[in-house]
Amino acid sequence: MQHRILIIGNGDDAAVAARAAAAVGMEALVIGEGAFPIADDRITYKDGWTLKHIEGQIGAFEAVFDTNDGEQTETVSSIIAATGADMVPCSLMNSAGDKAVSFKDLPALLNAKEYTLPMAVVFIQDADVDDGQWVSAIGIDLARQVGKMWGCDIYYLCRFIRGSHFEVENAYRMARAEGVVFIKYSKDSLAVMPLNGKTMVNFNDYTQDIAIQADIVAMSDVLKPQAQTSSLAQKLGIGVNPEGFFQYDNAYYPFTATNRRGVYVIGACKGPAGLNDVNGDAAYTALDIKIQLDDLRQAAEVIAEINPFKCSLCLTCLRFCPHGALHVSDDMPSMAVYDMACQGCGICGAVCPAEAINLADNGKRLMKEGSGQKRLKVYCCKNSAKKALDAINMVAQLPQGMELAEMPCSGSIKPEELVDDLYAGFQRILILACYSDACRHVNGNTDMRRQMKALQDTLADMGIAQDSIVVMDVAGPSPDDVLEKINSAYNAIGLEVAL
């Protein structure tokens, strides 16, 4: 079967993505504005098309476009956003005078036919933001070129050199050997101003104040998300990070993956990290898409099930689903589930006011029930606390009065379930959830915390202690931390236990 990939963007990143898709035998539909630099039978470019919205799931997305000839719908198997980003000058350029140049514009100066040979050139990175590894790579390469062409004094001011990639580390070592002087500066101390036809660069290197008189000052550019990024993210059903670029800073979405299965982001549109290895990211993404499409399976063993006779089409589940797995049914007046998109988090069931949604196995499993009177119930997210407990075989040695329950995500907990636990006799309920920026299902843990705060306030109004329900953050690789928090909760109800 021929797979067709939608690529959004028409710059270098989109061209790299289109080549990578064609290289593994897939067709690419590329949309953008202006000319596109590739001619290939497997790549179709549509100038002036803009995405209106998408429906569907991996293997069968329906993308609706606004075109010069009206609305157009195309079926695609997967989607790659490669829209690039904007490069803006460093803010210090405003005060630096006419001897300042950006990293982006320095090559043109190096290639100029006429210029005055400089005596000293100062490179500055990290002035506005802590620049990524790609800035270090570009800046060091430019500093070495300047040294070879002009033979002048070169000072490279930075707060950090990010050399985790061996090529950057090697370039840094060679630049030092070639005479480039690297200086770490205190950010608040940096000032740049014109003086007598040159530029004065003043800073503190953590030991003393230093002033360098430079003929040319080269400053790193600042990467900013394009204006369309936020609206495009909404259309694709994916998130943006605090800086406004595509893709969350989340370990569960590495490389180019997003919270919506089948939708990927590559290149500068995902932020500075996206510039480290665009070719490698594109090749990986194209191969990952092909492997998934050639043997398409459910993302989760257990997915949500909707009772169409209970559903009132309030669309609450649609708004809360982090994976774009809910849609209005074509057959009945109710919501339905995209089986290839659902990742079994159970969040939709927790927020459904009509109780029309459940996971196929009800989502939560009783892991172990200790003997004796019910005292403490612990809900364990399977992506963090459950892994920690499995690592130490905690379930096999449960003390009296404690009950452990596994949940697919802390966002799957319904407040009424906890009220039932309290009525059943538990003195305390402990919810062990992922840290706020480490949830596999994006906002499941933060949505749960909001609901738990409301429940605690309601319990307080009823005369029930708010700390009857306690939420604590844990990480899967930290079993000692998990045990400490369980012990703390157990001791708080007047019992002592050594786990």
pLDDT digits (tens, 9 = 90+) for 358-393: 987 655 666 555 556 778 899 999 988 888 888 776
Confidence class for position 475, pLDDT limits 50, 70, 90: confident
Look at 1 and 414; give whichever has higher pLDDT. 414
Residue 34 has pLDDT above 90, yes or no: no
Which whole-number Å values give the CA distances from 195 to 100, 102, 153, 202, 216, in the listed order? 12, 19, 19, 12, 12
- pLDDT for position 394: 61
- pLDDT for position 361: 62
What is the model's pTM?
Answer: 0.86
Strand residues in 170-318 grouped as ranges (E)? 181-184, 191-195, 198-204, 209-214, 216-219, 222-224, 263-265, 304-306
- pLDDT for position 368: 57
Annotated domain spans of the chain: 4-85+226-294, 87-223, 304-359, 365-492
Task: Return the H-helix or E-strand segment holding 473.
Answer: strand 469-474
Question: Would strands 357-359 and 304-306 be described as parallel, antiparallel, or unpaired?
Answer: antiparallel
In one-letter notation, the amino acid at residue 77 is: S
pLDDT tens-digit map of 116-144: 889 999 999 999 988 878 888 899 999 99
C-alpha atoms less than 13 angstroms from C-alpha of 95 in its C-beta half-sphere? 10
- pLDDT for position 301: 82
Among the residue ranges 357-361, 458-462, 475-479, the one predicted with the least confidence is 475-479
Q: Which of 109-118, 200-209, 220-229, 418-427 has the highest mean pLDDT?
A: 200-209
In one-letter notation, the amino acid at residue 37 is: P
Among the residue ranges 35-49, 133-147, 240-254, 276-290, the one predicted with the least confidence is 240-254
pLDDT tens-digit map of 157-214: 999 887 766 678 899 999 999 999 999 999 899 999 998 889 999 999 999 999 999 9
CB distance 50 to 68 below 8 Å: no
Distance of alpha carbon 208 from alpha carbon 190, whole angstroms: 13
As a residue count, the chain comes to 499
- pLDDT for position 489: 83
Average pLDDT (478-490) is 82
Say which CATH architecture domain 304-359 belongs to. 2-Layer Sandwich (3.30)
As a whole number, the mean pLDDT across the chain is 89
In one-letter notation, the amino acid at residue 468 is: S
497: CB partners within 8 A, 6+ apart: 399, 402, 487, 490, 491
Query: What is the fold, at CATH topology level, of the domain defined by 87-223?
Result: FAD/NAD(P)-binding domain (3.50.50)
Confidence class for position 298, pLDDT limits 50, 70, 90: confident
Give 53's strand partners. 64
- pLDDT for position 370: 57
Residue 341 has pLDDT above 60, yes or no: yes
Distance of alpha carbon 238 from alpha carbon 305, whole angstroms: 23
Q: For the domain covering 4-85+226-294, report its CATH number.
A: 3.50.50.60
Query: What is the fold, at CATH topology level, of the domain defined by 365-492?
Result: Rossmann fold (3.40.50)
Tell me, yes or no, if the two domains 4-85+226-294 and 87-223 fold the same way.
Answer: yes
Percentage of the chain surpassing pLDDT 70?
Answer: 94
